[in-house]
Every structure is written in structure tokens, then in C-alpha cells.
Amino acid sequence: DFGQQPRGQSFRGLPMPPSEVVIGIQHESTSASASPPAPTGVVDEVETAAAAAVLERGRRLHEEWPANSQFFCDGRCITGPCHGASLCAWTCIIVPSIVYAAFALPKCWQDWHPLVPMAAIAVFGLTVLLLLFTCCTDPGVLPRRSILLATGTAEELSAILGYNVLGMPNDPNSPRAADPQGLVPVDLVAKGYRWCRTCQIVRPPRASHCPDCDHCVLRFDHHCPFVNNCIGQRNYRYFVGFVFSAVILAFCVLP
């Protein structure tokens, strides 16, 4: 049961970013001639055919990702849509540090102990590194229904999460959005599992759909425009470390 997993545990085996199952090159088992698993409804067939067509054209899936996220380093790094607040965060970190290095660092080196400016430099490097990790790390994205069906990873993801991520089988002729609660088993609803109308999947407790990035995120906390990414299960620790290191850096360079 996903709801009983210890807080902060990382599901490294999930077939989702940064795994190449979803955003990188398709697996060898998903060849151009391979057929996606049989869907349960007419709408599933349309979605699966559209996503499978991307794979058949030899395109990397992250190049056709159906959301607002941006990918770098051949699909290994993921971040949110560009936002001016992110530039402001980098400016507030780099500019004061440059001023400190140009004017205060030589004086501190001579008048105080060399360990003082060296410590400030180390904190600056740590802050930048944690900011990069927070910006470019997958926060715990759950792939959309069409992606799971086209890549054949729905059963694997369901086995890892401990429930059917595609929902209960229903009448193929009835649209899923018309009766979303009917697709989530009653016992899962009581535990906090919900149906996502956009991703067309059952999301676990504490997961939520980010309106900025347009996909569901495990243990979603919030979308931070200053780091240009969602804060969720996989990058929460990086975010907390960045906040603390930024505060320490401010005490080092601003006085």
C-alpha cells in the first residue's frame, strides 16, 4: 500500500522520469513493430495509438512529452516551464557572492582567518549545487495513461505502487471523465486515492496534479517558481537543503 510507505522513501524502480522507460529512449522490448497492451476502452485505444505512433517514428519520448515540463541532457534532467522568478533566485545568489569575493574576501583573508572566506566559498558551492539538483531532478512524476499504455509499463507501475494505476475496468462506451469516482475502488477512495481527470490515472495519497507542469507528482508539496520545478518526493530533500544553505550563505556574504 503506497499510503503506508515511510515518508521520504524513494521508489527508484518506478518506470517514470528520470527512468528511460518514459522520458528517455524507448526500451529494446518496445520496438517499432511491438504492439501496446490491449486497452480496456475505446478512448484507451485512441490514446495508446497516438502515443505508440511517437515510438514508431523513432522519436525519444521526452521530445513528445504531453506536459509543460522541459528536458535537458538527453532527457535525464527535467524542470518546469521557464519563469522569471528562477532568474531572480540565481541573481540573488550569484551577484552578492561576486561582490563578496571582489571586496570582502581579500580583507577577511588577511585580517581574519583564511578558513572564514574558504567556508563562505564552500557554502556558495553547496547552495548552487543543491539549487541545480532541485531544479533539474525529477520530483516524482507519474506518467499519463497514454504513456503507460503505449510503453507497456502500466502493469509494472501498478505492481510497484500496489494498486491498479489505470483504475477499475468500466464500460468501454462510457467516457472516463463522466464518472471518475467509479474508476477508483471504494477501499482506495477511503485511503485517499483519487482520479486525475487530466492524466487519466488513479493517483495515490499525497500526490497531486501540478497546474504549472501539467502532470501528477508523488507526495506533491508545491510548485516553486524560484527553483522552476515542482517540489515532491524525489527532490524535497534537495529543496530543504537548498533553503538552509541559502540562509547560511546570506549570513556569510551579506554582512
Helices (H), 100-114: 105-111
pLDDT higher than threshold 80 for residue 249: yes
58-106 pLDDT per residue, tens: 567 777 788 788 888 888 889 888 878 889 999 999 999 999 888 888 8
* DSSP conformation letters of 176-223: GGG-GGGGS-HHHHHTT-EEETTTTEEEPTT-EEETTTTEEETT--EE
Measured CA distances, 137 to 63, 94, 106, 230 (Å): 17, 21, 36, 9
170-177's contacts with Cβ under 8 Å and 24+ in sequence apart are: 170/40, 170/41, 171/41, 172/40, 172/41, 172/42, 173/41, 173/42, 175/43, 176/41, 176/43, 176/200
- Residue 26's pLDDT is 34
The grid coordinates listed for 24 are 528517455
| DSSP 3-state percent helix, strand, coil across the chain (nearest 5) | 45, 10, 45
pLDDT higher than threshold 90 for residue 237: yes
Does 82 qualify as catalytic in the annotation? no
138-150 pLDDT per residue, tens: 999 999 998 888 8
CA dihedral (155, 160, 161, 163) positive or negative: positive
Average pLDDT over all residues of the chain: 77
User: Which range among 25-34, 37-46, 151-160, 196-205 shows the weakest confidence by mean pLDDT?
Assistant: 25-34
154-207 pLDDT per residue, tens: 999 999 999 999 887 654 444 454 455 578 888 888 888 999 989 999 999 999
- Residue 117's pLDDT is 86
Residue 18, preceding bond cis, omega within 30 degrees? yes
Length of the chain: 255
- Residue 141's pLDDT is 93
Measured CA distances, 163 to 14, 184, 192, 209 (Å): 13, 10, 13, 19
In the set 210, 224, 230, 252, the catalytic residue is 224
110-123 pLDDT per residue, tens: 888 888 889 999 99
Question: Nearest-CA neighbor of 56 among 34, 25, 23?
Answer: 34
- Residue 180's pLDDT is 55
